[in-house]
Every structure is written in structure tokens, then in C-alpha cells.
Structure 1
């Protein structure tokens, strides 16, 4: 399964790419929200894993752009913003799942399988 990882933290991004790749996923990684739309237009992804705290734009704006662009794929928010208001806002904004950081790889993998 090919997925798009949107994560600005280099260490976490590298770790996630390595871990997910070991579990059979093909991972494309972008570090800025501005790269998401062009990536979605050029590749066939099955899911987007989206951080909300990005250097160039808020992840909720990225989520809105994905939904406005009518891309038909699940979006999982993976972020340190795990207050209940943040989770509700993300899910109401069009996310299919929401996982707070820190997270267990096993849980992330289970959510991806669903």
C-alpha cells in the first residue's frame, strides 16, 4: 500500500518511513503542507498520514484542501495536538482517524489495516 506522510519533524519522518517500509508500505514523505496537493495529483495513494503542525500552513488547512480537491482517500491525523477539541475539530474537518503523539507503532499499523 502506498501512503503519503506529511510530517515536518525530520527524525520522526525518517523513523516512520523506515518502520512503515519494514511492514510492507511504500511511503512518500513531504515536510510541508504545500507539497500535498501536487503529490496527490501525481501518485495514487491509499491514505494520507497528516501532522497538523507544519512550517508553512496548518494541517487543518491541508485537510480542507484535500477535501476540496475531491481526493477520495482516507486521511489520518497524527499529531501532538491531542486535546479533545483538537480531535473533534480534525474529525469534523474531514479526517477519517485521529491519533495523538506519542503513539505506539503497533496501534498505527492496526489503524492503517482498518
Structure 2
């Protein structure tokens, strides 16, 4: 069972994604902003993060850059979940170090498949 951190300022998205991942057998922690995400990563053994881009306090890209700058979190698999779908937004997310980029709205089936694929790659 993997520990997945869901970071999104929209409570409906957080709850829905957390519910689906728990149904898939994952341990899930859900937080509402970037500062809480960085704190959770320091306190928990997180295997994968789902990270919204547009959030208060710290954006998802700022969180991602912070994660990539530290040796203990530099390799943490991160999927960006965002309503920003322009090519420039996708390129910014990937160049900041995201492992995957999933535009909102997204299918829960596609989300869980991408989560599992990243977790499988991280184990090997």
C-alpha cells in the first residue's frame, strides 16, 4: 500500500481523489495548500504526490521546485493536476520536475492508472 499525498485547494477535488485512491488500497493524506504539502512531506513517508498548480500561499510549481531542491524529496514522484492546459503551462510543469501532468477535469480511471504506473516505476 502506497502513501499518496493529495494537494488541492478545492475540497471537492481533494475528497473525490482521496476517496478513489483509498478504494484502490492506498493510504491517503489530503491537504489544501502548498505549505501544508511541504509540512506533510517532512512528517510522512510519502510515496507519490498529486499536486494542484494554482493554490494559495505556495503554488504547485513552487512546491515542486522546493521538493526537487532537496535530496530527500528530489525523486518523489509528482503528478500535477491542474485546469491550466495551455502548452506553455504543461512545459512549465514538466520543466519544474513533474513526472506527469493531468489536466482538469480528468477521469478517475485515468488518474488511478497514472498513479499506479508511477508507483510501479518508482519501485523498480
Place the TM-score, normalised by the shorter chain, in its bin.
Answer: over 0.9
Equivalenced residues, count: 114
Equivalence for 1:40: 41
Matched, 1:91 2:113: no
Matched, 1:81 2:84: yes
| Stretches of structure 1 lacking an aligned partner (at least 5 in a row) | none
Q: Which moved more, 1:81-90 or 1:67-76?
A: 67-76
- Rounded Cα–Cα distance in structure 2 between residues aligned with 1:83 and 1:28: 29
CA RMSD in angstroms comes to 0.9
Matched, 1:111 2:105: no
Offset of 1:50 from its aligned partner?
0.3
Offset of 1:112 from its aligned partner?
0.8
| Stretches of structure 2 lacking an aligned partner (at least 5 in a row) | 118-124
Q: TM-score, normalised by structure 1?
A: 0.95
Q: Which moved more, 1:32-41 or 1:42-51?
A: 32-41
